[in-house]
Chain A
Amino acid sequence: MKLAKFRNQEGRIYTISEAGIRELAENLSKKHDVYGPVNTHDEAVFSKFRFKIIEQGDKLELHYPITTIPPTKYFFPSRETILEFGSETHTPTHPHTHKPIVIFGISLFDLKAINRLDKIFGEPIQDEIYGANRKRAILISISEDFDPKGLAFDIHFRKIGQNKYIAWVGSKSGQKIIDQSSILCTKTKDIKKKYKPSKKYSRPERAEIIAGAKDDPIWDKLAKICFGCGICSYVCPMCYCFDTEDVVKIEGITKCQGCRERRWDSCMNADFAAISSHDFRPELKDRIYNWYHHKFVRMPAEHGFSGCVGCKRCITYCPAKINFRETLEYLEKKYG
């Protein structure tokens, strides 16, 4: 899989107005499926901002706090057919569309998560289903306060003033889009900035503390209030565990068509680590500990980064009001 390898080392910078960004999105939507954050005005429990298909630039929400479900859903959807089969042929076929899509208005949290998921699904073995979904997507991100330091993207918009943004080109596809919309933006300069992403986890002491805290009473305490519903993993842009299930449609008496689906799973679910003769994480407290362990111990050891980008979705949507940061603070205070 070849993705935008650009990591801000060199590139071109343009200025663009907010109206220009909207027009750019609308122009793109004439040729591609463009998805971006939209205000649905529908807010009960979940955020009213959702990633949806964009046809008009003025529908695009440029200043949104967070969407409940992260845009990683375009690469790793909640349900996805990975295999099709029929009763007559028994020949499994693998459906995949490679129609290009544009994801517009990605927040820095989510951009970071996508960059990390690229590595997780790419190493040591490439997951080709994720790879195919990801390869067809053009990433256009947006931020107000921070630069997309060390991240890969196609175009990044950074707000620099009232109605003024800089457009940072991050890849050839990004450059092509800008070139086609040259009327909307003004070239300012070429930049050369060296940025070397670190391969080491920046908080080794945190990993060490959690690795050694399996027997701490905190897990018991959390298990008493946690519902084990798994929403913290469904809304997390970095959570990616999955299950597979066969779905069968029966047509008439003899015809049977089916598919295998890959679905989101949650390590909070009972039986997640069970085999017929044994459950390796029988209690909720074991599964809660595993959630932290995966994010802050196993993932840093495997990939050099943690499983948290700081978007706070898990805190916002937890029905038991569990704040994982408080758990980390408690552990770090106690063992640090």
Chain B
Amino acid sequence: MTCKTCNYKLKEATIIKAENLCRDILALRIKLDKDSLIFKPGQFIMLSIFGYGEVPVAVTTTPDIKDYFEVAVRNVGTVTRAINRLKARDKVGIRGPYGNGYDFKDMHDKDVAVIAGGLGIAPLRSLIEYAKNHPKAFKSFQILYGAKNPGEVLYDEELFACEKFARTMLTVDEAQGHWHGETGLITKHVDKLRITPEMRVIMCGPPVMYKFIIPEIEKYGIPDEHIQILLERRMKCGIGKCQHCTFGDKYVCLDGPVFKYSEIKNNMEAI
């Protein structure tokens, strides 16, 4: 007997493009076979590869595109290794979207700065693309993105092209070869952003990044509730049951993945 309304029911989808963004990160363009994915930037989906398993991944494209959506997956484990071997026309399973997404109400008509570290650019790309399509949604838009080295900078051409609507700074910890961006840790470039106390800061990156970036931002008097942070966890269910994404009294899958810094500041194990 099939279970039609089951939480774990998958929608079948087809890969229409698979492209390596760098050595170990694959970007997948996915089309649902029967309908289109309705989501908000900052939400995540569960991506299944039959026989290997399921992983939570953020959608990296803007919801303005109805035909397909994209994700970026780093090859780090059994499931993601299998995902990194996918190619066009392969079948995958999708369920979701899950989570809250960015708080657009709070960002509306405000100066917005996006700070990304490493693969953290992927979920923020959804917001950046949205800002590109809706220039009037925000008062101003800035992007600060740091990666280890030029080889690991994701979406670099696209991001350099964002100069048209956003102040954009790309930095690498160590520059080698041809590199047109900045050099040095991302924390060193925070002061190059045009920061105002009324600004909204949206961040995604490895936990270690938050530790160093947040004190830098707080120097400018930005209140904690104006900082939105997207947290990463390895969810198994997406519906607040499996307990893998909990910290303190929060569920990343239900209450997040985007949190105001004020919500998680005093919560153990958040970042």
Contact = CB atoms under 8 A, between A and B. Distances in A.
B161 interface: no
A301 interface: yes
Given A241-B244, A286-B269, A246 B52 contact: yes
Contact of B269 (A91, A129, A273, A297): A273
Interface stretch (A137-145, A179-187, A274-282, A315-323): A274-282
Interface stretch (B1-9, B146-154, B168-176, B212-220): B1-9
Interface in A264-313: 265, 267, 272-278, 280-281, 286, 290, 294, 297-298, 301-302
A297 B249 CA distance: 8
Contacts of A125: 7, 239-241, 254
A216 interface: no
Given A92-B50, A286-B269, A127 B241 contact: yes
A240 interface: yes
**What's the dominant secondary structure at chain A's contact region?**
mixed
Given A95-B1, A121-B241, A265-B242, A276 B76 contact: yes
B254 A124 contact: yes
Interface in A188-202: none
B93 interface: yes
A18 interface: no
Interface in B196-233: 206-208, 232-233
A260 B54 contact: yes
A208 interface: no
Interface string B55-86: 00000000000000000001011000000000
Given A121-B241, A128-B3, A273-B269, A246 B53 contact: yes
Contacts of B53: 244-246, 260
A214 interface: yes
A128 B239 CA distance: 11
Nearest to A215: B268
A286 to B, nearest CB: 7
A96 B7 CA distance: 13
- Count class of interface residues, chain B: 35 or more
Contacts, number: 126
Contacts of B8: 82-83, 94, 129, 260, 262
Contact of B51 (A132, A258, A286): A258
B140 interface: no
B50 A85 contact: yes
A200 to B, nearest CB: 16
Interface in B1-22: 1-3, 5-10, 12
A96 B1 contact: yes
Q: Which of A83, A121, A290 has the most CB of B within 10 A?
A: A83
B187 interface: no
Interface in A208-234: 214
A91 B2 CA distance: 12
Given A258-B50, A265-B243, A298-B246, 8 more contacts: A120-B241, A128-B7, A243-B242, A262-B8, A273-B247, A277-B232, A290-B246, A290-B269
Interface of B: 1-3, 5-10, 12, 48, 50-54, 74, 76-77, 91, 93, 206-208, 232-234, 236-237, 239-244, 246-249, 254, 268-269
